Structure 1
C-alpha cells in the first residue's frame, strides 16, 4: 500500500496557517490526519489483497493490455467521502465541469507518456484503472495520491487555484503510484526526498511530452499556473534553480537547496522530503540539459531504468541513487557515450558522490520511443 503523498509541502501550509490563512490550517490538519490514517491502515493490513495500492494486483497477460487508459472521474462534492459521485468514464463525452475534464485529460496524458516513452501500461505496468476525484472538501489547498487514487482540491482562490490546472501536478502524483509499484522508496529522509524527486522528474517530463518541448524549451517548474494572481512566485518548485520558485509573505521563501552544501536536516515533513528533493531534481535537470533534445528520451530513460530495474533498495540514499543512475546509463548507452558522463558530471555538480563505482548490470532491452 502506498503512502499519502501531497503536492503542497507541509512547510508551505504551515507558513500560510501561521499567517492567518484558515483554509491552510484546515488543509494541514486534514493532511496530518490522513497520513496517520494511512500509516495505521498499512500497519494493520486492512487493505484487501487485489485492490489498487495493495501491491497484490492480479497479473494481466501482455496481450490483454490496452493501449489506452481506463479512467473514472468522480465529484467529491466538497465532502471527505471518496471517491464520490461518478461523473465521467473512459470514452464518455466531456463533462460540463472543467475540473473533471482537466483531470481526465491529465490522467490520459500521464498514461500516454509512460506507454509511448517507456512501454509501461498504466502506473503499475499492468493496466491499472485510473481513478480521480475533484472538488474535494471546501477550499482544500492540495492534491494527493493516497495509494489508490488521485484527489484534487479546488484551492482557496486566494493563494492556490484549482489543483487540476497544472498537468505536472497530475503527473507528479500519479508517479507516486509508479514508485509504489516499482522501487517503493521509503517516504522518509533521503529515500523520501528521492520519492518526491522522481515524481517531480516525471511530472515535468509528462508536461514536456504533452507540449512537445525540448529540455531547453521547458520551464522546469512544478505547479506553474497553480498560484493565484498576486502571489509572488512561479510555482511550487524549480528544478532549474531550486530555492527560487516563490518568495511571498504568505508562502515564505522557497527553501529548496540545489546541492548538498545546502542540505537541510530536519524532523519535519518526514525528514524534509519536499525540501531536499531539490538536490536530485537539479541533478536531473543538469543531465537533461547537457544531453539536449527531448528530456524523456535519454535522461528520462535512465531515471526510469533506475526506478523500475529492480536493483534500487527501498531505503536508497542520494549516493546509492546516483550510483544506480550511473549504472543504468552505463548499461544502456556505454561508458563512452554522453549520457553516462552527463550523469556523473551532474551528481558531482550537486555534491553527491556515488556510493560505489557503477557496475554494468544486465543490458536493458532497447525500446522504441516517440520523439
Structure 2
C-alpha cells in the first residue's frame, strides 16, 4: 500500500512542498452559500463630500469561538471599552483607524460610501491560517502558531480586507487574472497607507511591508509582501523564497490562486510605491487619492487589465500625471490605451460536467488565501484501500459543476482533478460537504492520517 503523494505547484519553488495548514474542515450551510453566491456587485457610488459626512459608521466585532459559523457572538461594538481579548481588541482598534482614514482622507463613509455598519469576526475556525472579506464579513483566523500568528496582529491585514470591500462597492474588480491582481494590489496600497498614517510617516519614510509580524519568530521573514521590492519579503528554509514578481517581464501565467492574483499583484504594488514616493507627502493624500479617484471615476471596468487601470490613474492624476505614468513604465506597463476600454473580462465559462468514472489519479489543490499560498496532493484512485472512495469522488468531483460565481477576495479556491477529466474549481464558501471531506482527507491532516493506501 502507498501513501498519497504531495506534489508542488509548478510555478513556485520549494515552499509549496511544505503544507502549512489544513483545509477548512466544515462547509458552510446551504443558506449562507446561496446568500453569498447570489450577492451581486453594487453599482459604483459617487463618493460623498467630506462636508456631508458626520459620525463614523457602526461596527461590531464577533467571536466565532473557533467555529466557522458566521458571524459568531457579538464581542465588542463601537463605543464600548476593551474586552481583554487581544484579537477582539486588535480588530476593534484596526477598524476604527481604517474607517477614520477613509473618512478623513478620502471622504468615504464606510466601505459602501453610505455609512454601512461593519461586521468583523475573529477566532474563526481552528488554527485557521487566513483572513478574508466574504461580501458581508471581515473574517480573521488565529493562525497555527507554528508558521502564522493571529491575523489581527498586523493592522494592515485588517485594512487590506476592508479595502477589498471598498473595491467591491466601487470598480468591482473581478477576482481573477489581472483584474484580480489589481484587486489585491489596491487592498495592499490602502493597507500600507493606513500603516504609514498611524506611524506619522510620509511615503518616502515608509517600509512598504505588508503583514509585518504575521509570521512567527521561527520563520525567516520581514513580512508577507514588500511593495517596494516584490519577491524579497521572506526567504525561509521551510517556506522557501517569496515568489511575488514586480515587473511584467516576470508575469506569472497560472490557473492557481485565481490566476496568480497574489503573485502578480507585486507589479501594480511596485507602481503604487514608486508613484507615492515620487509625488511625496503622505501616501494616502498623494497616490492613494489618485488610485481612489480612478476606482470611483467610471473608467475602470470590472475586468480591467493592468494597462487599463494604469491609464485611469494617469487620467486622475492631474499635475502628477508624469510621475504616475513613469511609475507604471518602470514596472513594464506602458500607458497608451484610453481610459474606459473594455480590457480583460476576467470571465470564464462554467466547467463542464464529466462522466462519473472515478479512475486514474486524483489531484486536489488549494490556492489563494491572504498569503497567496498553494498546496496540492495526489493519489492513485486504483491504489487506495477505501470502499467509500469511489462514491465520494463521484459526488465531490465527477458529478459536480459549479456556477460561474466570482471568487471572494482572499478566500481559498479548491481545484479537484481526476485524470482525463476537466478540473472542477470551487470557491471555499461554495464547497459541498463531499468536496470539503475529500479535501480534508487529501490535504494536511488528512492524506497520511486518514487514508492508508
TM > 0.5 fold call: yes
Identify, as 1 or 2, the structure richer in helix: 1
Q: Deviations over 1:123-161 (max 9, x none)?
A: 110001111111111111111111101111111111111
Q: Deviations over 1:229-259 (max 9, x none)?
A: 0101111111000000111133221111111
2: CA distance, partners of 1:139 / 1:276: 28
8 A contact 1:135–1:153 mirrored in 2: yes
Report the equivalent of 1:291.
279
Q: Confirm or deny that 1:309 pairs with 2:297.
A: yes
Count of residues in correspondence between the two structures: 330
Alpha-carbon distance change, 40 to 353 in structure 1, aligned in 2, over 3 angstroms: farther
| Higher deviation after alignment, 213-222 or 350-359 | 350-359
Alpha-carbon distance change, 141 to 274 in structure 1, aligned in 2, over 3 angstroms: same
8 A contact 2:63–2:75 mirrored in 1: yes
Report the equivalent of 1:340.
321
Alpha-carbon distance change, 14 to 167 in structure 1, aligned in 2, over 3 angstroms: farther
1: CA distance, partners of 2:143 / 2:14: 16
Structure 1 unaligned segments of length 5 or more: list them. Answer: 1-9, 48-52, 360-371
2: CA distance, partners of 1:15 / 1:308: 40
Alpha-carbon distance change, 149 to 112 in structure 1, aligned in 2, over 3 angstroms: same
Alpha-carbon distance change, 38 to 265 in structure 1, aligned in 2, over 3 angstroms: farther
Report the equivalent of 1:365.
none
8 A contact 1:188–1:273 mirrored in 2: yes
8 A contact 2:36–2:134 mirrored in 1: no
**Alpha carbon RMSD of aligned pairs, Å?**
3.0
Report the equivalent of 2:332.
351
1: CA distance, partners of 2:276 / 2:52: 34
2: CA distance, partners of 1:269 / 1:225: 23
Report the equivalent of 1:369.
none
Report the equivalent of 1:19.
18
1: CA distance, partners of 2:244 / 2:283: 22
1: CA distance, partners of 2:261 / 2:98: 23
Q: Deviations over 1:310-342 (max 9, x none)?
A: 22111100111111111011xxx3xxx3x1111
1: CA distance, partners of 2:41 / 2:202: 36
1: CA distance, partners of 2:78 / 2:177: 38
TM-score by length of 1: 0.82
Q: Confirm or deny that 1:227 pairs with 2:218.
A: no
Report the equivalent of 1:50.
none
Where 1:273 maps in the other structure, the secondary structure is helix
| Higher deviation after alignment, 74-83 or 250-259 | 250-259
2: CA distance, partners of 1:17 / 1:232: 16
Query: Over alpha carbons, which structure has the higher Rg?
Result: 2
8 A contact 1:321–1:354 mirrored in 2: no
Where 1:345 maps in the other structure, the secondary structure is helix
Q: Confirm or deny that 1:55 pairs with 2:36.
A: no
Per chain length, whose mean CA-contact separation is higher, i.e. which structure has more relative contact order (CA < 8 Å, sep 6+)? 2
Where 1:133 maps in the other structure, the secondary structure is strand
**Displacement after TM superposition at 1:41 (Å):** 5.0
Report the equivalent of 1:80.
68
8 A contact 1:326–1:358 mirrored in 2: no
Alpha-carbon distance change, 246 to 12 in structure 1, aligned in 2, over 3 angstroms: farther
8 A contact 1:66–1:127 mirrored in 2: no
Where 2:284 maps in the other structure, the secondary structure is coil
Alpha-carbon distance change, 58 to 273 in structure 1, aligned in 2, over 3 angstroms: closer
**Displacement after TM superposition at 1:180 (Å):** 0.4
Q: Confirm or deny that 1:70 pairs with 2:58.
A: yes
**Displacement after TM superposition at 1:16 (Å):** 6.4
**Displacement after TM superposition at 1:66 (Å):** 3.7
Equivalences for residues 161-176 of structure 1 within 5 A: 161-176=149-164
